[in-house]
Chains A and B, each alone.
Chain A
Amino acid sequence: MRPSTVSRDHGGMNVIEVTDLKKRYGSHAAVDGVSFSVEEGEIFGILGPNGAGKTTTVESIAGIRTPDGGTIRVLGLDPQRDRDRLRAIVGVQLQESELPDRMTVAEAVELFASFYAEAADPTRLIDDLGLTEKRDTQYRRLSGGQKQRLSIALALVGQPKVAILDELSTGLDPQARRETWKLIESIRDRGVTVLLVTHLMEEAERLADRVAVIDGGRIVAIDTPAGIISRVSAEQKLRFRPSAPIEDRLLTDLPEVTSIKRAGPVLVVSGTGNLIGAVTSVLAQHQVVANDLRVEQTNLDDAYLTLTANTAKELS
């Protein structure tokens, strides 16, 4: 599948432009011709399996890896040539990056604030990230979620125009993950453009305005999460236990239904369009009740697996 062209329907300016990015490690092409652009104020997700080249891509954008080919522009700056200017406007949250064990939350935020000409107010930032109670707690005594929030605080303390967040919710419990997501939305609300690397579909679906799916160092799709889902399939599935026997034909005759399957007492009806309405009205006409009715729609997870499975086949 070819990467789609970027939609420009909200007419924003491109904050990040990556063209034909390439990076090899030995004989392995980690990134093999990746191109995309990120508009101002957008949350742009980079999605892909482990080893797909996500981290290499964003670390090249952050200027801490030197690409072998292609060009990168962040607000017009070349991450290699304009390192110093780039660092002042891009906040980065890296994977597997810790702090000294005995440094407290407030000390870390104040230290990082001192690196920037126009830093955020540390006290307020700590408060915004819900870390006020932990201000004087040393890094080694923070929970995983608190460490992650501190790491995000450090990425934001320089009041960046662009925030690069790599796998920010890995290892968090669901509660902490949801809080982190709210935080990311609030970052975007401040006008910061966010580049978000993740391998969690739920995270991309919830947060990202657009998503690039990377696999084997290449982009397999760029679209909104909904667009990516619809590319793969618009199919829905209904799963229920009919209260009385019903003939297959009554359902398969419906234009919305594409197939039905029986699994013991459970009936699985696949189809498109207003599937629920069509099926339930037929059932009602025959005085059949759909017990334990569940609707399953294709989600980003399914779409993602289909997209990345395709390339896995192409490559082998």
Chain B
Amino acid sequence: MIDEGLKSELQKQGVYVTTLEDLYNWGRANSVWPLTFGLACCAIEMMAASMARFDLARFGAEVFRPSPRQADLMIVAGTVTKKMAPLVVRIYNQMPEPKYVIAMGACAISGGPFKQGYNVLKGVDRYIPVDVAIPGCPPRPEALIHAIMTLQEKILAQKLTGPDRPRHLNADVASEFPVPAYGPHDLEPSKNDAVWHPPMIKR
């Protein structure tokens, strides 16, 4: 690894030194392409974040793609009903690696105000891994921008090699997740045990 002091001294002389890992992550972090995918009112805030006033383009994430095949980031913006959940998982499976998920708003995190309903999934993290969760009902566009910046930090910190390397660099880890089936009263299974465990609460 290059010494930080030397690196900065070289930069002053017009020589830029970096590592392949930094370059690779820098490129990925600054061109996150989200999927054009909104489920409820949070999607309105997502649209606002990408428009002129809040200008998501400043963070390289303005290219909303209508196809999961071309997207890196799924912003789950809104209530995930049990009827919609298998489709969300299927769209996530169709995205190529590396892929990331932002759960936007109270509904996508936990079911939100509809948590006790019979038809709303209690958090999209029951089926797919969530990288960043934004609370709020709905979160303001600034909160979404903050989530994208948090995701960028997460991408920049990823290692190319070693046991901690991300899923897309590890051939042994599956990148697709089982799609739940419609059951007589609930989805079957009602959660993916490999992804989600109910957090232990001390009472």
A is bound by B: no
- Which A residues fall within an 8 A CB radius of B? none
